[in-house]
Structure 1
Amino acid sequence: MDKIEYEKAITSLNLWAKAYYTDDKPIASDAEYDELYRQVEQFEEQNPSLKLSYSPTNRVGGAVLDEFKKSTHLAKMWSMEDIFSDDELLAWIGHGDKSGEFFAEPKFDGASLNLLYENGKLIKAATRGDGSIGEDVTNNALVINSIPLQISYLGRIEIRGEVVIEKSDFESINAIRAASGEPPLANPRNAAAGSLRQLDNSVVKQRKLKFYPWGVGENSLEFAKHSEVMDFVRSLGFLRDEFCKICSSVDELRNAYKELVSKRDEKPILIDGMVIRVNDLSRANSLGYTVKFPKFMVAYKFPAIEKTARLIDIVLQVGRTGVVTPVGLLDGVNIDGAFVKNVTLHNFDEINRLGLMKNDLVTIIRSGDVIPKITGVFAERRDGSQTPISRPTNCPQCGSELLDEGVFIKCQNLSCKARVVSSIIYFTSKKCMNIDGLGEAIVELLYERGIVQNIADIYRLDELSFMGIEGFKTKKISNLLNAIELSKTPNLERFITSLGIEHIGEVAAKKIAIAYPDNWLELSFEELISLDGFGEAMALSYLEFMRVNLDKIKELLGFITPKIVEIKTTQNAFSGKTFVITGTLSRPRDEIKAELESFGAKVSGSVSSKSDYVLYGDEAGSKLEKALSLGVKTINEQEYEALK
Structure 2
Amino acid sequence: MINNLREEIRYHEYRYYVLDSPEISDAEYDQLMKKLERLEKENPELITVDSPTQRVGGEPLESFAKVEHSTPMLSLSNAFNDGELRDFANRVYKLAGTREIEFIVEHKIDGLSAILTYERGRYVQGATRGNGIIGEDVTENIRTIRSLPLRLKKDVNLELRGEVYIAKGDFEKINEQRLDRDEEPFANPRNAAAGSIRQLDPRIAAERSLSILVYDLLSYDLEGIDTHSQALNFLIEQGFKVNWHQKCDNIDEVIELCKQWTEERDKLPFEIDGIVIKVNNLALRQELGSTAKSPRWAIAFKFPAQLKTTVIKDIIISVGRTGALTPTALLQAVEIAGSTVSRATLHNEDEIKRKDIRIGDHVLIKKAGDVIPKVVKVIKNKRNGSERIFQMPDSCPVCGGEVAREGDEAVHRCTNVTSCPAQRREGIIHFVSRNAMNIDGVGPALIDQLLDRDLIEDYADLYGLNKDMLLPLDRIGEKSAANVIEAIQMSKQRSLHRLIFALGIRHVGAGVGRVLTEHYHSISNLSRATQEELEQIDEIGPVIAASIVYFFKEIRNQRVIDKLRAAGVKMEEKKVVDNQEKPLQDKKFVFTGGLEKYTRNEAKELVLSAGGKVTSSLSKNTDYLVVGDNPGSKFEKASELGVEILNEEGFDELLGL
> Normalising to structure 1: TM-score of the pair?
0.58
- Of residues 234, 237, 244 in structure 2, which corresponds to 1:235? 237
Deviations 1:155-198 (A, max 9, x none): 33222111122222222222333333333222222222222222
Deviations 1:382-409 (A, max 9, x none): 75542489xx99443999xxxxxxxxxx
Cα separation, 2, equivalents of 1:473 and 1:226: 55
CA contact (8 A) 2:315 2:390 kept: no
Stretch deviating more after TM superposition (328-337 or 286-295): 328-337
Deviations 1:59-81 (A, max 9, x none): 24785333333322222222222
Cα separation, 1, equivalents of 2:235 and 2:207: 26
> What residue identity is the alignment partner of 1:124?
Q
Cα separation, 2, equivalents of 1:394 and 1:65: 48
> What residue identity is the alignment partner of 1:174?
N
Cα separation, 2, equivalents of 1:452 and 1:539: 28
Cα separation, 1, equivalents of 2:571 and 2:104: 49
Change (3 A) 1:172 1:22: same
Q: What's the CA shift for 1:328?
A: 8.3
Query: Within the alignment, does 1:277 sit opposite 2:265 as a pair?
Result: no
CA contact (8 A) 2:330 2:344 kept: no
Q: What's the CA shift for 1:343?
A: 6.9
Deviations 1:595-634 (A, max 9, x none): xxxxxxxxxxxxxxxxxxxxxxxxxxxxxxxxxxxxxxxx
Deviations 1:293-344 (A, max 9, x none): 22221121223212447595999xxxxxxxxxxx985558874257887779
Query: Within the alignment, does 1:111 sit opposite 2:112 as a pair?
Result: yes
The residue that corresponds to 1:83 in the other structure is: 79
Cα separation, 2, equivalents of 1:370 and 1:56: 36
Cα separation, 2, equivalents of 1:61 and 1:381: 64
Change (3 A) 1:344 1:180: closer
The residue that corresponds to 1:93 in the other structure is: 89
Query: Within the alignment, does 1:444 sit opposite 2:520 as a pair?
Result: no
CA contact (8 A) 1:188 1:337 kept: no
Cα separation, 2, equivalents of 1:43 and 1:70: 36
Change (3 A) 1:496 1:269: same
The residue that corresponds to 2:153 in the other structure is: 152
CA contact (8 A) 1:164 1:189 kept: yes
Matches within 5 A, 1:131-146: 131-146=132-147
SS, match of residue 95 in structure 1: helix
> What residue identity is the alignment partner of 1:20?
Y
The residue that corresponds to 2:227 in the other structure is: 225
Q: What's the CA shift for 1:13?
A: 1.8
SS, match of residue 389 in structure 2: coil
Deviations 1:247-284 (A, max 9, x none): 01122112222332343222111222211111112222
Structure 2: 5+ residue runs without aligned partners?
Answer: 319-325, 393-404, 413-496, 502-507, 517-525, 541-564, 593-618, 622-633, 644-657
> What residue identity is the alignment partner of 1:278?
V
The residue that corresponds to 1:251 in the other structure is: 252
Q: What's the CA shift for 1:377?
A: 0.8
Deviations 1:443-472 (A, max 9, x none): 3225664697566689xxxxxxxxx99679
Query: Within the alignment, does 1:386 sit opposite 2:380 as a pair?
Result: no
Cα separation, 2, equivalents of 1:117 and 1:13: 20
The residue that corresponds to 1:200 in the other structure is: 201
Cα separation, 2, equivalents of 1:309 and 1:471: 50
Matches within 5 A, 1:221-620: 221-222=222-223, 223-241=225-243, 243-307=244-308, 308=310, 310=312, 330-331=329-330, 335-337=336-338, 354-356=355-357, 362-366=363-367, 374-379=375-380, 380=383, 383=386, 385-387=388-390, 394-396=407-409, 441-446=509-514, 449=526, 453=535, 478=576, 481-482=577-578, 486-487=581-582, 498=588, 544=641
Change (3 A) 1:303 1:221: farther
Cα separation, 1, equivalents of 2:311 and 2:112: 29
Structure 1: 5+ residue runs without aligned partners?
Answer: 316-326, 400-436, 459-467, 503-520, 524-536, 547-644
> What residue identity is the alignment partner of 1:482?
D
CA contact (8 A) 1:360 1:382 kept: no
Change (3 A) 1:363 1:246: same
Cα separation, 2, equivalents of 1:170 and 1:131: 28
> What residue identity is the alignment partner of 2:11?
L
> What residue identity is the alignment partner of 1:197?
R
Q: What's the CA shift for 1:90?
A: 1.1
Q: Percent identity?
A: 33
CA contact (8 A) 2:620 2:641 kept: no
CA contact (8 A) 1:63 1:202 kept: no
The residue that corresponds to 1:568 in the other structure is: none
> Normalising to structure 2: TM-score of the pair?
0.57
SS, match of residue 307 in structure 2: strand
Cα separation, 2, equivalents of 1:56 and 1:220: 26
Cα separation, 2, equivalents of 1:396 and 1:59: 52
Change (3 A) 1:167 1:227: same
Deviations 1:16-50 (A, max 9, x none): 21122212333455555444433322232233333
Query: Within the alignment, does 1:47 sit opposite 2:43 as a pair?
Result: yes
The residue that corresponds to 1:428 in the other structure is: none
> What residue identity is the alignment partner of 1:84?
F
Query: Within the alignment, does 1:130 sit opposite 2:143 as a pair?
Result: no
Cα separation, 1, equivalents of 2:127 and 2:384: 51
SS, match of residue 265 in structure 1: helix
Q: What's the CA shift for 1:54?
A: 0.4
SS, match of residue 185 in structure 1: coil
Q: CA RMSD in A?
A: 4.5
Cα separation, 2, equivalents of 1:371 and 1:346: 16
SS, match of residue 79 in structure 1: coil
Stretch deviating more after TM superposition (339-348 or 288-297): 339-348
Cα separation, 2, equivalents of 1:217 and 1:452: 49
Cα separation, 2, equivalents of 1:128 and 1:20: 28
SS, match of residue 42 in structure 1: helix
